Amino acid sequence: MTIKKRNLVLLLIVAFLLGGTIAAGSVILIENGVLGGTVKVSKKNYNYYQKLDERYGKLDQLYDELENSFYKKPDEEQMATGMYKGLVAGLGDPYSAYMTKEEYTSWTDSTLGEFDGVGITFSTNKNGEYVVVNTIPDTPAEKAGLEAGDILLAVNDKTYSTMDTFSAALKGKAGTKVKLTYARDGKEKNVVMKRATIVNKTIESEVLKDQIGYIKISSFEEHTADDFKSALSNLQKKQVKGLVIDLRENGGGIVDAGIQVADELLGEGTVTYLQDQHGKRQYLKSEKSKIDIPYVLLVDENTASTSEIIAAAVKDDGKNPLVGTTTFGKGIVQSTGELSDGSALKLTTMQYFSPKGHVINGKGIKPTYEVKNDKKSKTDKQLNKALELLKAK
């Protein structure tokens, strides 16, 4: 007898309930009350099918009911996508997500530093809201007046349950329009923007007064580490006496890029270690060589994820100060794996710690010198404090 695996699961259960026996690797099957012969099934496979029924039996019932009773013919592909997304959403983790092939392609493009969209970097706050970390300079989002701290609510009047689906909705072909609903100071606002091709330049550098070098890192993407090394080399050629590394409003990005940047700043040792649910640790280390000029790290409440790895390592090292406000507190790492059909799973797999074992997630990094900027003032008190500390050395 040849039957579908889906039906075999149910038939095996019927056989079990009605006295079917497992003997010599066979299972007696009864279908619609009629003895249906035997199919060779090992006890191991039988237990596997039994487990499948316990785990997905209700889902199978729901699927049949939707397929047979919904007022119109359901789209099976959309139903399947909904199942996969719902399974991952059940974790209650805003950073884990199932991505369709199209969503994964869009997400991958954004990590390469060029994509079509509006130019917003956002994360989630403690309330699970989507909060703007920064806007990329000279993009539709910046021109429309979006600011760090704004709460993102909807795209084209539709809400989304994961960061990736919200981000995918914001993206689209350059020249097309998108409506964004957001909240600022408790007031809801709407803005319509025209999408553009975004080229995210993650490194900016210059020489400030008193021969102090300045490097701003806006995020960590595939090219960031190489661009940082290039900027650092240029400043060293100009014989800067000190360096300000600005990680404010840096929402993170690719961990490897952050580790490569940290490797330029720290001597030989651990930059961070990661730990999974089983207690297994993975150590990420820096090499012996490092820059030979003093530096100050600027951080704020929107310094998150990969940028916090660097901030935590520099603070534990204790040789160069941090200036600003306590960082965001996202100390978890996502691993992304492509599935056979081109879709992908992005899953939070590990939590990372400072070299000395300090927890980052939910706590953040407290700076050596706490300095707050007044949003109503154009004076950058945090940068001025960094320059003061470097001038004193």
Please indicate, yes or no, whether residues 186 and 57 belong to a single structural domain of this protein: no
Please indicate, yes or no, whether residues 207 and 191 belong to a single structural domain of this protein: no
Domain boundary among 198, 217, 243: 198
138-163 tens-digit pLDDT:
899 999 999 989 999 999 999 988 88
Q: Which of 50, 334, 343, 351 is catalytic?
A: 334
Please indicate, yes or no, whether residues 187 and 207 belong to a single structural domain of this protein: no
* Domain ranges, residue 127: 97-198
Q: What is the pLDDT of residue 18?
A: 36
**pLDDT by 10s per residue, the chain, length 393:** 333 444 444 444 433 433 344 343 444 444 444 445 556 667 788 788 888 888 888 998 999 999 999 999 999 999 999 999 999 999 999 889 999 998 888 778 766 666 789 998 888 887 889 999 888 888 999 999 999 899 999 999 999 888 878 888 998 899 999 999 999 999 999 999 999 998 778 999 999 999 999 999 999 988 999 999 999 999 999 999 999 999 999 989 889 999 999 999 999 999 999 999 999 999 999 998 899 999 999 999 999 999 999 999 999 999 999 999 999 999 998 889 999 999 999 999 999 999 999 999 999 999 999 999 998 888 999 999 999 999 877
Please indicate, yes or no, whether residues 343 and 244 belong to a single structural domain of this protein: yes
Please indicate, yes or no, whether residues 205 and 150 belong to a single structural domain of this protein: no
Three-class secondary structure of residue 41 per DSSP: coil
Neighbours of 48 (CB within 10 A): 12
**Nearest 5°: phi and psi at 84?**
-65, -45
Q: What is the pLDDT of residue 108?
A: 80
The residue among 192, 213, 191, 215 whose CA lies nearest residue 204 is 215
The residue among 329, 308, 101 whose CA lies nearest residue 219 is 308
With helix as H, strand as E and coil as C, how does 203-230 read?
EEEEEEHHHEEEEEECCECCCHHHHHHH
The residue among 140, 138, 144 whose CA lies nearest residue 194 is 140
Three-class secondary structure of residue 51 per DSSP: helix
Q: What is the pLDDT of residue 39?
A: 60
Q: Please tell me the distance from the alpha carbon of residue 129 to that of residue 178, in angstroms, as a whole number.
A: 20
Return the amino acid letter for 98: Y
Q: What is the pLDDT of residue 36?
A: 52
Q: Is residue 88 part of a domain?
A: no
* Residue 263, token pair as written in the block: 């490797």
Q: Please tell me the distance from the alpha carbon of residue 262 to that of residue 310, in angstroms, as a whole number.
A: 6
Q: Is residue 298 part of a domain?
A: yes
Q: Is residue 160 part of a domain?
A: yes
Please indicate, yes or no, whether residues 226 and 177 belong to a single structural domain of this protein: no
Active site residue 43: no
Please indicate, yes or no, whether residues 188 and 210 belong to a single structural domain of this protein: no
Domain boundary among 24, 59, 74: 74
Q: Which of 305, 307, 354, 382 is catalytic?
A: 305
Q: What is the pLDDT of residue 42?
A: 78
Answer whether 299's CB lies under 8 Å from 245's CB. Answer: no
Q: Is residue 381 part of a domain?
A: yes
Q: Is residue 82 part of a domain?
A: no
The residue among 314, 309, 306, 327 whose CA lies nearest residue 243 is 314
Evaluate the CA torsion angle 136, 142, 143, 144 in order and state its sign: positive
Q: Please tell me the distance from the alpha carbon of residue 157 to that of residue 182, in angstroms, as a whole number.
A: 11
Please indicate, yes or no, whether residues 228 and 169 belong to a single structural domain of this protein: no
Domain boundary among 150, 167, 198: 198
Q: Is residue 79 part of a domain?
A: no
Q: Is beta strand 177-184 parallel, antiparallel or unpaired with respect to 34-40?
A: unpaired
Q: What is the pLDDT of residue 293?
A: 95
Q: Is residue 89 part of a domain?
A: no
Q: Which of 216, 315, 330, 385 is catalytic?
A: 330
Q: Is residue 81 part of a domain?
A: no
- Domain of 265, CATH number, reads 3.90.226.10
Active site residue 334: yes
Query: Tokens 């009047």 identify what position?
Result: 157
Q: Indicate the number of domains in the chain.
A: 3
Please indicate, yes or no, whether residues 229 and 376 belong to a single structural domain of this protein: yes
Active site residue 382: no
Please indicate, yes or no, whether residues 260 and 323 belong to a single structural domain of this protein: yes
Q: What is the pLDDT of residue 111?
A: 66
Please indicate, yes or no, whether residues 251 and 121 belong to a single structural domain of this protein: no
Q: What is the pLDDT of residue 237?
A: 96
Please indicate, yes or no, whether residues 179 and 312 belong to a single structural domain of this protein: no
- The H-assigned helical ranges of 38-186 are 43-69, 76-89, 101-111, 140-143, 163-170
Q: What is the pLDDT of residue 8?
A: 43
Separation of CA 252 from chain center: 8
